[in-house]
Amino acid sequence: MTTGTLVPVFAALGDETRWSILAALGEGDASASALAGRLPVSRQAIAKHLAVLQEVGLVEPIRVGREVQYRVIGSQLSDTARRLEAIGAEWDRRLATIKEIAEGL
């Protein structure tokens, strides 16, 4: 079972505030300050969340003038989904095998 760098991604996705940030970024790229205007948390809190998201490759920073805007990397979500799907399928397959054995096939 290669979980590899997968767990930190899930940890990053396991926070409501970060999903709010991702959702807000879905409306278009935005800086930490801009996001702070739309979400009920401070700019610094958002900066920390963005750091976490960037760490696991869910978001990328883009300098625009004196701002640092962030963009969601959708492919990382898709990639993570595929890896999770593979694991889920693996478990289904394994359980099916166990079931067959139990039923004496």
Partner DNA sequence: CCAGACTGCAACCCTTAGGTTGCATTCGTC
Partner DNA sequence: GACGAATGCAACCTAAGGGTTGCAGTCTGG
According to DSSP, the residues that pair with 28 across neighbouring strands are none
Find all residues with CB under 8 Å of 19, minimum gap 6, and list them: 13
The DSSP annotation for 60-90 comes to: EEEEETTEEEEEE-HHHHHHHHHHHHHHHHH
Choices 34-42, 47-55, 60-68, 70-78; region in contact with its own copies by CB under 8 A: 70-78
The 76-105 contact track toward its own copies, x by CB under 8 A, reads xxxxxxx-xx-xxxxxx-xx--x-------
The footprint of DNA on residues 18-57 (CB under 7 A) is: 31-34, 40-45, 47-49, 52
Residues binding DNA (CB under 7 A): 14-15, 17, 31-34, 40-45, 47-49, 52, 65-69
